[in-house]
């Protein structure tokens, strides 16, 4: 079996290895190969030296972590942001080459700095990455890049955070490392014929990574649909397997979509109506967490027009080929797993926090562990929590709670 992130294919770590080693999405390097991510060098810090003390350590310098930093800075609360990648925005840079944001620029700015494009434009993923870098620079946020946190523990009511040899001690820790951590790939992926190229959507960049020939996309959410559209345009036969997640019933790029409906859905329904403060929000939350949100840009009829064939769930492997739940076996050369991601909190050494599940929290506040917070989790507070426009509000809420337990700033 070939699990690869790029062509040339070798070396080809097996899918299970990839999962069992606990490699995160962030471990897919900028050139698309799976490799060791930059580790904290801890330059000048010996393991024996005293930890650096601060009030808040923010783990992760994506949109969620930077938003927390922005609000901490406004409150004059001392903090540091530890970011695993060498460059802010690399999570976006690693996403597939043709990706444009699903949301227009009017919804792609963080608190204090609008996205520098026409409000109706759909920025490229690299423009988003550069925006995040510019955001950190503009507000002079203390981001330490190349610092992958590998342990958080607690001693005498304070937190110890280590990133390689570098160590920090803080009253509060904010976990802002995103929902998209560890690719979720079913165990039977191991049994696919080694001649089939298979990769996870987190490693997909462009059609050049694939063999000539037909393709199965497993997973029918936003990523699966966008990738299916690109690859059907590439002139191959494409099957897309999985449950229908529903779709927004208008074109986000159309006149009505741009001027009215996007505001209604993204700005109002996702941001204000579907929250844990409303009965309807609490009702749909479990469904969103288990099945994903609706398709935003691509419509099922677009895929049908391109000849993408929708099929049921992929349930296993027969003679090295993917088998569908209706018993059909597909003779494909490529499989892309658009099956999402799962959390990996195994490096948080606190008994209250599960390794691979959503932690118990209210709007990101972990009541059982005072001083520990999460941001950027799916439906943390609202449907928009995992989106760019929701990051600022969630961050502000967390920072208000931190300020309440930080007497000097009250
Ligand atoms: C394909 C795709 C397209 C999307 N398009 C849109 C869109 O158009 N509009 C929209 O609003 N949302 C979109 N989203 C959703 C969301 O905005 C992004 O996923 C966004 O990247 C989430 O930001 P984040 O800060 O929560 O997490 P991330 O961007 O994942 O950032 C987390 C950061 O934490 C770092 N990190 C991880 N582990 C550690 C560690 N142990 N120590 C230190 N640092 C660590 C990572 O390197 C990373 O920089 C999209 C998501 C995907 C997957």
For residue range 59-82, list pLDDT tens digits in order: 999 999 999 999 999 999 999 999
Dihedral (CA of 400, 151, 94, 5) sign: negative
| pLDDT averaged over every residue in the chain | 87
Does ligand 1 come within 6 angstroms of the Cβ of 224? Answer: no
Closest ligand 1 atom to residue 95 Cα is 1
Closest ligand 1 atom to residue 101 Cα is 8
Beta-sheet pairing, 166-175 with 158-163: antiparallel
- How many angstroms is it from 100 CA to the middle of ligand 1? 15
- How many angstroms is it from 26 CA to the middle of ligand 1? 10
In sequence order, the 6+-apart residues with CB closer than 8 A to the CB of 113 are: 134, 135, 138, 139
If pLDDT is split at 50, 70 and 90, which confidence band does 141 have? very high
pLDDT at 48: 56
Does ligand 1 come within 6 angstroms of the Cβ of 148? Answer: yes
Lowest mean per-residue pLDDT among 96-105, 242-251, 260-269, 377-386: 242-251
- How many angstroms is it from 398 CA to the middle of ligand 1? 18
Closest ligand 1 atom to residue 387 Cα is 11
For residue range 290-342, list pLDDT tens digits in order: 888 888 888 999 999 999 999 999 999 999 999 999 999 999 999 999 998 88
| Residue 146 clears pLDDT 50, i.e. is over it | yes
Does ligand 1 come within 6 angstroms of the Cβ of 38? Answer: no
- How many angstroms is it from 62 CA to the middle of ligand 1? 6
Q: Considering only residues 161 and 22, tell me which one the structure prediction assigns the higher pLDDT.
A: 161
Closest ligand 1 atom to residue 147 Cα is 43
| Residue 89 clears pLDDT 50, i.e. is over it | yes
Does ligand 1 come within 6 angstroms of the Cβ of 83? Answer: yes
- For tokens 């208000």, what's the residue? 400
Nearest-angstrom CA–CA distance, 285 and 277: 11
Does ligand 1 come within 6 angstroms of the Cβ of 293? Answer: no
- How many angstroms is it from 60 CA to the middle of ligand 1? 9
* 163 alpha carbon, distance to own chain's centre: 21
| Residue 58 clears pLDDT 50, i.e. is over it | yes
User: How many residues would you count in the chain?
Assistant: 410
Closest ligand 1 atom to residue 377 Cα is 26
Q: Over pLDDT 70: what percentage of the chain?
A: 88
- How many angstroms is it from 341 CA to the middle of ligand 1? 12
| Residue 226 clears pLDDT 50, i.e. is over it | yes
Closest C-alpha to 316, from 190, 402, 158, 209:
190
Dihedral (CA of 383, 385, 387, 393) sign: positive
Nearest-angstrom CA–CA distance, 273 and 384: 10
Nearest-angstrom CA–CA distance, 346 and 57: 18
If pLDDT is split at 50, 70 and 90, which confidence band does 283 have? very high
Does ligand 1 come within 6 angstroms of the Cβ of 59? Answer: yes
Among 40, 102, 178, say which to mutate for ligand 1: greatest number of ligand atoms within 8 Å of CB.
178
- Domains of the chain are 52-181+342-409 (3.50.50.60), 183-337 (3.50.50.60)
Q: Over pLDDT 90: what percentage of the chain?
A: 72
pLDDT at 104: 93
Q: What is the mean pLDDT of residues 151-160?
A: 95
If pLDDT is split at 50, 70 and 90, which confidence band does 6 have? very low
| Residue 85 clears pLDDT 80, i.e. is over it | yes
Closest ligand 1 atom to residue 149 Cα is 42
pLDDT at 256: 86
Closest ligand 1 atom to residue 376 Cα is 26
Does ligand 1 come within 6 angstroms of the Cβ of 223? Answer: yes
If pLDDT is split at 50, 70 and 90, which confidence band does 165 have? very high
Kindly report the protein residue whose alpha carbon is nearest to atom 12 of ligand 1. 387
pLDDT at 312: 94
Closest C-alpha to 56, from 32, 82, 91:
82
pLDDT at 31: 31
List Cα–Cα distances, 409 to 59, 76, 347, in angstroms. 22, 7, 31
């Amino acid at each position: 079996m070939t699990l690869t992130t790029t062509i040339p294919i070798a070396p080809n770590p097996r899918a299970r290895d990839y999962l069992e080693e606990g490699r995160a999405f962030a471990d897919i390097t900028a050139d698309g190969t799976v490799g060791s991510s930059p580790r904290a060098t801890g330059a000048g810090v010996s393991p024996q030296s005293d930890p650096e003390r601060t009030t808040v350590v923010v783990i992760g310098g994506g949109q969620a972590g930077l938003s927390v930093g922005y609000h901490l800075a406004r409150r004059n609360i001392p903090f540091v942001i530890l970011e695993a990648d060498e460059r802010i925005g690399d999570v976006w840079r690693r996403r597939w080459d043709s990706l444009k944001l699903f949301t227009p620029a009017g919804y792609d700015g963080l608190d204090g700095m609008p996205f520098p494009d026409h409000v109706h434009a759909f920025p490229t993923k690299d423009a988003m990455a550069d925006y995040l870098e510019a955001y950190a620079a503009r507000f002079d946020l203390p981001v330490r890049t190349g610092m992958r946190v590998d342990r958080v523990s607690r001693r005498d009511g304070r937190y110890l955070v280590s990133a390689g040899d570098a160590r920090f001690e803080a009253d509060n820790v904010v976990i802002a490392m995103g929902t998209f951590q560890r690719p979720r790939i079913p165990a039977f992926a191991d049994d696919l014929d080694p001649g089939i190229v298979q990769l996870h959507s987190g490693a997909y960049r462009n059609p050049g990574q694939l063999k000539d020939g037909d393709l199965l996309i497993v997973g029918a959410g936003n990523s699966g649909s966008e990738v299916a559209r690109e690859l059907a345009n590439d002139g191959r036969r494409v099957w897309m397997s999985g449950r229908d997640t529903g779709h927004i019933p208008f074109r986000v790029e159309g006149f009505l979509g741009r001027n009215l409906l996007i505001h209604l859905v993204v700005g109002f329904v996702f941001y204000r109506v579907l929250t844990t403060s409303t009965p309807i929000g609490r009702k749909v939350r479990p469904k969103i967490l288990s099945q994903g949100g609706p398709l935003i840009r691509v419509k099922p009829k677009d895929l049908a027009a391109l000849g993408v064939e929708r099929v049921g769930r992929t349930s296993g492997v027969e003679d090295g080929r993917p088998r569908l739940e209706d018993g059909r076996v597909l003779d494909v050369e490529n499989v892309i797993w658009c099956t999402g991601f799962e959390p990996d909190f195994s490096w948080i050494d606190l008994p209250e926090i599960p390794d691979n599940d959503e932690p118990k929290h209210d709007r990101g506040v972990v009541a059982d562990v005072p001083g520990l917070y999460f941001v950027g989790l799916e439906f943390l507070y609202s449907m928009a929590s995992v989106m760019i426009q929701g990051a600022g509000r969630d961050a502000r809420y967390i920072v208000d709670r931190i300020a309440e337990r930080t007497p000097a700033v009250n």
